[in-house]
Amino acid sequence: MTIDLVDVSITSPGRNFVTLKITTSDGIVGWGDATLNGRELAVAAYLSEHVASMLIGRDEDRIEDTWQYLYRGPYWRRGPVTMAAIAAVDMALWDIKAKKAGMPLYQLLGGASREGVRVYAHASGTDYAALQNAITGYQELGYTAVRVQTGVPGLGQIYGVSSSGPGVRYDYEPAKRSGDRPSEETWDTRNYLSHMPGVFARIREDFGTDLRILHDGHHRMSPIEAARFAKEIEPYDLFWLEDCTPGEDQTALRLVRQHSTTPLAIGEVFNSVFDYQTLITERLIDYVRSAVTHTGGITAMKKLLDFAAIYGIKSGIHGPTDISPVGMAAALHLDLAIHNFGIQEYMPHNAQTLEVFQTSFTFDQGFLHPSEQPGLGVELDEDAAAAHEYTKAYLPVNRLLDGTIHDW
């Protein structure tokens, strides 16, 4: 059999998603997530203008050869747009292969290494009371791990903080549909550094030591600030401190490691194993954060995580709502199969999104299971998708109090 049709779907059920559909000459359909938050059309164009015609007529079973063909063929290497496009093709071909085999994808990746995939929720609040309410709400749903983000005195809306009211749904969608330019947020690292340790102390007082708490620094600290912060929060036993400093400066993490044993997670903005080479070989991180969707797909992610396993480093695959349910399912099949699984990020998609994406993965008491359905276990309802027109959206831009552009 061969690849007969390649179609790109752009839909916006509450937020934008790009999905690749590959259909074989026997009519088998595979789906791949190609969503790159804030730059969706770039990936859609890369797929429809440059990749689709290269795939027609190829043997859909030759996944590794297709991956190499798309990685080495264009000559220009890596980058979020290219690797998201390759990821979508790769996911769709694995979806097809598992459907043809009549088994859930994780079975083709070595079978289950655990009963379920432990996930962490996003608990946030503009102040401690709201954060406390969110943590309680997620604990009542059975979550055993929560990422905690909160407002910082003196600053307005900042990254990771939901402004939704009480109740357990703490939707936080950073990409704003604000016309032709990003919204702007204000930041001050000094305020943040003096505020956050007290928040972790209160969480441990209120929720005890069993609850796994994670926190995302979102690239904003300098290496020495990150070293000081990671050291100061050691007593609060975080499961991980994420993106404590811009990770592309890989050797900067040597300074953080010299001062602290707080576990470190980095990589959601990375898109290839080469972005991690020093971080992994020098054991400067403890968790690999990339999304399957942004890192070249299942083929590349499995190789990256197998490389990390040699150095005792575990997975922490990226799973916010701007990873589509297809990309989430791909992560779950890998999470279930690999040995060096750490934890899986899980921001449940809203009802509008789930009208478009028919999912089969299940949540139970803080754990997800990818499903026993053949393939990835997610199907796109193309009619429902067509009802939600793409609307340009940008991730915010961040400035310091004096107006200097800073990492968002």
Q: Does 295 bind ligand GCO (CB under 6 A)?
A: no
DSSP string covering 142-164: T-SEEEEEE--TT--S-TT----
Report, in Å, the least distance between residue 289 CB and Mg ion.
Answer: 7
Question: Considering the rule CB under 6 A, would residue 174 count as an interface residue with ligand GCO?
Answer: yes
Q: Is 33 in the site for ligand GCO (CB under 6 A)?
A: no
Binding span for ligand GCO by CB under 6 A among 16-24, 45-53, 249-257, 317-325: 317-325
Residue among 69 and 390 whose Cβ is closer to ligand GCO? 390
Cα-Cα-Cα-Cα torsion 155, 156, 160, 161, nearest 10 degrees, comes to 110
287 close to 265: Cβ distance less than 8 angstroms: yes
Q: For ligand GCO, which is the closer residue by CB, 90 or 345? A: 345
| Listed ranges 7-15, 52-60, 134-142, 268-276: which one lies at the site for Mg ion (CB under 5 A) | 268-276
CA 311 from centroid of its chain's CA atoms: 22
How far, in whole angstroms, is CA 380 from its chain's centroid? Answer: 20
Residue 9: which H helix or E strand, with range? strand 3-11
Q: Which residue's Cβ has the minimum distance to ligand GCO? A: 37
Q: Does 320 bind ligand GCO (CB under 6 A)?
A: yes
Q: Which position among 90, 225, 268, 335 is part of the footprint of ligand GCO (CB under 6 A)? A: 268
Nearest alpha-carbon partner for 374 in 94, 7, 59: 94
Quick one: which segment of 205-213, 316-324, 349-357, 379-387 binds ligand GCO (CB under 6 A)?
316-324
Catalytically active residues are 159, 218
Nearer to ligand GCO, 293 or 371 (CB): 293
Q: Which of 216, 225, 286, 322 binds Mg ion (CB under 5 A)?
A: 216
Q: What angle do CA 282, 284, 290 make, to 5 degrees?
A: 110
The least distance separating ligand GCO from the CB of residue 204, rounded to whole angstroms, comes to 22
Smallest CA-to-CA distance from 6 within 19, 23, 18, 25 is with 23
Report 271-290 residues binding ligand GCO (CB under 6 A). none
Q: Determine if 40 is a binding residue for Mg ion (CB under 5 A).
A: no
Check: CB of residue 299 under 8 Å from CB of residue 327: no
Does 345 bind Mg ion (CB under 5 A)? Our answer is no
322 lies in the site for ligand GCO, by CB under 6 A: yes
Q: What is the dihedral of CA 370, 372, 376, 382, to 10 degrees?
A: -100
Site residues (CB under 6 A) for ligand GCO, limited to 335-394: 345
Angle between helices 297-310 and 325-337 (to 10 degrees): 40
- Residue 235: helix, strand or coil by DSSP? helix
Could you tell me which stretch among 108-116, 188-196, 211-219, 297-305 binds Mg ion (CB under 5 A)? Answer: 211-219
Considering the complex, state which of residue 318 and residue 333 has its C-beta at the smaller distance from ligand GCO: 318
If the CB atoms of residues 90 and 322 are measured against ligand GCO, the closer one turns out to be 322
Nearest approach, Cβ of residue 218 and Mg ion (Å): 6
CB of 354 to ligand GCO, least distance (A): 19
The 197-226 site mask, x for binding ligand GCO (CB under 6 A), equals -------------------x-x--------
φ, ψ dihedrals at 94, nearest 5°:
-70, -35
- The span from the CA of 70 to the CA of 20, in Å, is 15
Please give the Cα distance from 228 to 153 (Å, whole number): 20
Q: Among residues 104, 142, 99, which one has the least CA distance to residue 121?
A: 142
Q: Which residues bind ligand GCO (CB under 6 A)?
A: 37, 174, 216, 218, 268, 318, 320, 322, 345, 395
